[in-house]
Copies of this chain bind each other. A is one copy, B any other.
Amino acid sequence: MLNQQYKECIQACLECMEACNVCYSACLKEEDVAMMSYCIRLDKECADICGFTAKAMQSNSPFAEQICKLCAEICEACGKECEKHDQEHCKKCAESCFRCAEECRKMAS
């Protein structure tokens, strides 16, 4: 059975993974790609760690807390980069990142 204490954090990770993958793809299609290059990099990094973290919680990894701690850090950085940009996908992504960072910090503590 899914460990219920993880439920909200897993949900936040999966939503953040989606927002980051969507933002990554949208940034690659922006006219001024150069301006988005750090956003592209962090989106991909953040999407990947969110997927990794969800998997860790879903499978009761003995390292779930440490993985959540790292995930919170990457989400925080990605959110800070995304909120600098005006695009809708970046705004939405920043929100998901900050929410996920918060849920992950709760799990990690």
A residues bordering B, Cβ < 8 Å? 1-2, 10, 14, 17-18, 21-22, 24-26, 28-29, 31-34, 37, 40-42, 44-45, 47-48, 51-52, 54-56, 58-63, 66-67, 70, 73-74, 77, 88-89
Contacts and interface: CB of A to CB of B under 8 A. Distances in A.
A47 B26 CA distance: 20
Given A47-B59, A52-B52, 12 more contacts: A1-B22, A1-B26, A1-B88, A14-B14, A22-B59, A25-B41, A25-B59, A33-B33, A45-B62, A51-B55, A63-B73, A63-B74
A10 B18 contact: yes
Interchain residue pairs A-B with the least CB separation, the first 9: A21-B58, A21-B59, A33-B34, A33-B33, A25-B59, A25-B60, A28-B37, A18-B58, A51-B51
